[in-house]
Amino acid sequence: MLKDAWSIAIETLSWIELKKLSERMALAKTVKQLGIRDPDAIRLGYGLVVETERRRNLIDKFVNSQLKDKTIEDYNMGVQAFLRLYVYQTRVTRNWKGFDLKAADHIAKLGRSILGWETLRPVEPILGFLLTQKIEPIIDAAKDEEKIGLQTFHPTWFVKYCIDLFGREEATAFLAGNLKAPETCIRLSTLRATQEEILAKLEAEGVRLEKVAPLRDTFRILSSKGPLNRIDTYRLGFFYIQDKASCFAAEAADPKPDDRVLDVCAAPGAKTTYLAQLMGNKGEIYSVDYSKRRMRVWRQEVGRMWVNIAQPVIADARSPLPLNLEADVVILDPPCTSTGVFAKLPASKWRLSPKSIEKMTDIQWMMINNCADKVRSGGFLTYSTCSVTVEENEMIVERFLQGHPEFQLAEITPNMGSPGLRGLDKCQRLYPHIHRCNGFFIAKLKKI
């Protein structure tokens, strides 16, 4: 099992690096490629990937300190992945204090059996040094912003960005909040049964929950006997595994029964299925997404959650939407830099740059303008991202209001976040270190 887990981890890290895939997409590709079906090996391999990627900048700097005339990037991707995993397993899991020579030797043998002795031979001489060298001098030698980045595992440019935006103290707290993945939450589906009935079923399956206030149907997981997606209540559509920030976005939109709703960038279906639930499965939902692959998942989730009022629309919201209608509620959750989900998807930290923000704001600006045309008079447009950057959030809203005087900011209920920046107090922000969820922004705009 251990060899399978390490094979999965090495190959998954290689795909992340080669194709810039997310952790889950790279894992799915790896499992299919290697033909490994052992769920324990898959789970262990994925855990190694996520925790290694989370600390990648510190691990790489440590490895590079032991290389003579090369850097870790000079080796092939399999070797890069092995070195990162080796440092994580032998040093990070021991909090950089001491080492277990027997365990390290076993890991080296695993690497040879997976990649081949010849492949690993160029880096064999440094494996012993990686076991014994201290990390503190490397961190202490870094300049201020890089040091914070090494201590909290973030790119230096993003550390500087956060300090400029939030101030040093709050920025450091936010960055530290990304060290752990957010709590796991589920949203109970009252389309299937009452909350009380679902809670009783979950209790019988060994799942302990706690209500997340002030959300209606969201509960945090305190403990479970096994993976949530393998129990009967999940398979039968009694709940959806969903971050509370995503649940908040649907509740903030506040659709009513018999409304016409336009859900833009809808896949894989978390928002659509909750919107239908809030509407009591009465009305119309048009779910728009450009990705046929993601919309296949949307269809599965809509079916699993017993939603029967949603229609899929394959379209790119950067262009005028191919729908001759006006909606009571339009919800736009556009592509973004995902700077609010670094705790959940740490690999995304290392492929972003300041130019990524500019690229995303261009896309978001096209989408929000195309959505504005579909809001009826008196209707609402809800705009949200899982980013913390001001360019993708408040500055988009400011620019939109200047160009669309027929819209104005509306109050958001429930009120569970921090006020928006730049004086946009009616907008709300969620932060990992404060609200124990993904970083998130939401604005609600009424067409007057």
Residues labelled as active-site residues:
386
- The residue type found at 263 is D
Distance CA 319, CA 322 (A): 9
Considering only the C-alpha atoms of the chain, give the largest distance between any 2 of them, rounded to a whole number of Å: 71
Name the DSSP class of 262.
E
For 422, the 3-state DSSP assignment is coil
User: Quick check: 91 and 131 in contact, CB under 8 A?
Assistant: yes
Which amino acid is it at 153?
Answer: F
User: Nearest-5° angle of CA 163, CA 22, CA 354?
Assistant: 30
Cα separation values, 199 from 77, 240, 250, 311, 358, Å: 46, 13, 22, 30, 45
| Whether 114 contacts 7, CB under 8 Å | yes
State both tokens at 447. Answer: 């067409």
CB atoms within 10 A of CB 391: 17
Bond from prior residue into 122 cis (ω within 30 degrees of 0): no
Q: Are strands 260-264 and 327-332 parallel, antiparallel or unpaired?
A: parallel
Q: Tell me, what DSSP letter sits at residue 91?
A: T
Nearest partner of 447 among 379, 351, 372, 345, judged by Cα: 379
